[in-house]
A and B are shown apart, each in its own frame.
Chain A
């Protein structure tokens, strides 16, 4: 019974592989975007969901992945995969370097330090001639949406498998122990520093790959889009909306929110931002522990679940 979600997931993945042969161009565009966003939410989940360290710095890794790919391809005419590797190396090295000092910070301190890092990194890149300064870089144009789609899908599958493995492993239990009580976890023999840095590096790895794929696909990048803080906020929202610290929550959360956003943006166009904001506000009020929690809660308590949430969290 416990394996049921995995069986469903497998079937869904197999079906998704064949999407490019039936989907329209718009669907493809949306699907690639949604898949990459799901990777970002899932990668954020590795650190944020399991250890409770809320990172607003994942856009640093996204930006480095983006720029690694773009610099290799636009400045040195290297092939795409070399760019991806370069982006990943940049992001992982960066994660190791910043991990030691900033993972000592707790709670909101950590969140803010990461926010500062991503803003500073964007500003540094916009002053670097090799990265095209603040103008950005133009990558060669390819018409290969099917490739981008399959790459994104593959990346999401690998990322989710990693999260699934984490959730069952000793490593994952260590991360959860850190979330529940870091000091206690330390005294119980969890090497908290190693655990946290490993989680950060994994998160950086997947985030950078998503950034690299996106860079080649969109074919023009600049610091504002590569280090976009609202993208980071979206990762957090999607993961938290779906259910942080679960295997499928961030996936479901990101697909639902992407769909809502896309639907609003293309059908009623101008009021989209307003409704998107309202959805977030209402979601926090009525399902503060995410979708995954809501599914169980509604099954157990029916509609009263929502009122219970308010009762628990209000003053």
Chain B
């Protein structure tokens, strides 16, 4: 009796494996993303965007390679916000799960580690989660990214400030000490110098410390015109709360690299979020045309309908990563990693995220859109011209309604 069960089991296994073998018209995409742990809050954007995009592409007939059309299959593992685990999972994805191509994790330090695996196995990885320049200065051939370089995050903001009245002269630059934010601070210092603005307070803080009373007190006593801040979302949140409770009022302006575009951020701060400036590489705008979704606004709607929250640039960037593969595979006409890699390098298409074209180092170049929260709403303010009138200068905490 026992025997017959084992035999039966073996037969079903055999049947299953043969049916798998016949279903060869599948292209597997793999990713290891933060689904639990401290970074799960942002990690979910990537999983959801990948899934939504893959489903849509399959609905639309999949990917054409020569005469056969392939379906996409997505394999997302949870790295629990643990870098070492994510590295192991990428190896697993490549060598055991036999995925054809890799999508990225969230955050620069993860991308730094995980891209080494892509390079080691020579499997292309397109990632939309890490913006740090270190990822692209190692001469790796198999890593591409859809977040613009961290150095230039404040470029458009500074350009805008010079066109406003009064033009700020003294600036406080506050940045976390992790890879991404150090890149931002370095680039911003140069841009400020060119613009002739003086950095009077230049402080870095421990990433995730959440404690700004000392920095804020220094900013207050220096009496700066503007604050440019770079770090992660929860720290941005704490910074604003402590600004208010310590009555820190820069004369005209304060801005954050992250947080401002997300609905979570506005919800957590309520009316205290008003007037804050920020930036995003993407807004769900109808002018961004897309092959599968028509335009970015429809993507945002589909995303919100399915997952119950608004996508932000993380999600759009993740969706563009999937599209990059589809365009590249169809162009290469094969699933060969080398051929697809070369096709990705020559990507040149419009997507719901942006016009996708990678630089020689593998990173995309995009302007940041300056945004501001006005009466609880996110308003795009500036790209290379004023889009909507900014509320400027920002009123002091004590003088708000």
B95 and A25 within 8 A (CB): yes
Interface size of A in residues (CB-CB distance below 8 Å): 28
B134 and A266 within 8 A (CB): no
B80 and A218 within 8 A (CB): no
Of the candidates A135, A262, A266, which one forms a contact with B179 in the assembled complex, judged by CB atoms under 8 Å apart? A135
- Interface residues of chain B, those whose CB is within 8 Å of chain A, are 35-37, 77-78, 80, 83-85, 87-89, 91-92, 94-96, 109, 112-113, 116, 119-120, 132, 134, 138, 177-179, 182, 206-207
Residue numbers in B under 8 Å from A138 (CB-CB)? 112, 134, 138
B218 vs chain A, min Cβ distance (A): 19
In this assembly, does A182 line the interface, its C-beta being within 8 Å of a C-beta of chain B?
Answer: no
Residue numbers in A under 8 Å from B87 (CB-CB)? 29, 218
Residue numbers in B under 8 Å from A219 (CB-CB)? 113, 116
What are 18 A-B residue pairs whose CB atoms fall within 8 Å in the complex? A24-B96, A26-B91, A26-B95, A26-B96, A29-B88, A133-B182, A134-B179, A134-B207, A136-B109, A136-B179, A220-B112, A224-B109, A225-B83, A225-B84, A262-B88, A265-B80, A270-B35, A272-B78
Within 8 A of B (CB), among A56-76: none
Looking at chain B's contact residues, the main secondary structure is helix
A273 and B80 within 8 A (CB): yes
Assuming the A-B contacts A218-B87, A219-B116, A222-B109, are A126 and B95 also in contact, with contact meaning beta carbons closer than 8 angstroms in the complex? Answer: no
In this assembly, does A109 line the interface, its C-beta being within 8 Å of a C-beta of chain B?
Answer: no
A218 and B177 within 8 A (CB): no
A29 and B92 within 8 A (CB): yes
Give bound CA distance, A225 to B107, whole Å: 15
- Interface residues of chain A, those whose CB is within 8 Å of chain B, are 24-26, 29-30, 33, 123, 126, 133-136, 138, 141, 143, 218-220, 222, 224-225, 262, 265-266, 269-270, 272-273
B136 vs chain A, min Cβ distance (A): 12
B91 and A220 within 8 A (CB): no
Residue numbers in B under 8 Å from A269 (CB-CB)? 35, 77-78
Number of A-B contacts (CB under 8 A): 78
Residue numbers in A under 8 Å from B94 (CB-CB)? 25
Give bound CA distance, A272 to B92, whole Å: 16
Specify the chain A residue showing the minimal Cβ separation from B180: A135
A134 and B35 within 8 A (CB): no
Give bound CA distance, A123 to B94, whole Å: 35
Give bound CA distance, A25 to B113, whole Å: 17
Residue numbers in B under 8 Å from A24 (CB-CB)? 95-96
Give bound CA distance, A15 to B91, whole Å: 24
Assuming the A-B contacts A33-B88, A225-B84, A265-B80, are A134 and B95 also in contact, with contact meaning beta carbons closer than 8 angstroms in the complex? Answer: no
Specify the chain A residue showing the minimal Cβ separation from B96: A26
Residue numbers in A under 8 Å from B132 (CB-CB)? 135
Cβ-closest 4 pairs across A and B: A25-B95, A134-B177, A135-B179, A269-B78
B382 vs chain A, min Cβ distance (A): 30
Give bound CA distance, A24 to B138, whole Å: 28
B30 vs chain A, min Cβ distance (A): 12
B179 and A272 within 8 A (CB): no
